[in-house]
Amino acid sequence: MDYHLMRRTCQSLKALPSLKVPIVNQHFALFPVVKPEESSWFNPLALDHVREEAGICSVTLTHGLTLELPISKRSLINLAGKAVYSLATYRQDYASSLKSDGCPLDYVSLPATPVGQLLNTQDLLQRWHMSPGMFFNHYKLEEHLLWYQQLTDCSDIEARLY
């Protein structure tokens, strides 16, 4: 999946994050905690627990590494929830059959960790906020617009050569 297309797709759909856009494929999602160009990227399913003391947020990953992040605990959990929702949306739209019943958590197994338990209660993950296929359709539209733009750019170059 192309990150620039993913970013443009998310910006066109209100239910998806539009600033700190995750990158998603069928196996996982990664999300930035600051500007994407300057950030470390995290898998929301690899977050074990988060603490915030004296304005410093510490996150421990499931493999034991602990990091201090320039973000509040609340913001980190919200970003992780949006990444999980994006992953569920991707999996729903690329599934062999589209079904609108159920909820995003039917497409993602959250780990049995304190962060997984927090994510399990997030309102965003309790119901769908888009119709099935909407992400796929918008992504393909952005992809085709990019292809068209590249074709017209090539036409301009050819016209200049002759």
Of the candidates 104, 102, 101, the residue with the CA atom closest to the CA atom of residue 121: 104
* Alpha carbon of residue 28 to chain centroid: 9
Would you state the structure tokens that stand for residue 79, as one six-digit string? 């970003």
Residue with tokens 């998310």: 10
pLDDT digits (tens, 9 = 90+) for 30-79: 999 998 889 999 999 999 999 999 888 999 999 999 999 999 999 999 99
Rounded to whole angstroms, the Cα distance separating 77 from 38 reads 19
pTM metric for this prediction: 0.85
- Which pLDDT does position 158 carry in this prediction? 58
Rounded to whole angstroms, the Cα distance separating 31 from 23 reads 7
> Who wins on pLDDT, 138 or 154?
138
Would you state the structure tokens that stand for residue 145, as one six-digit string? 């617009």
Sequence letter at residue 120: N
Confidence band of 149 (pLDDT split at 50, 70, 90): confident
Rounded to whole angstroms, the Cα distance separating 135 from 86 reads 9
pLDDT digits (tens, 9 = 90+) for 80-107: 999 999 999 999 988 866 666 789 999 9
Confidence band of 156 (pLDDT split at 50, 70, 90): low
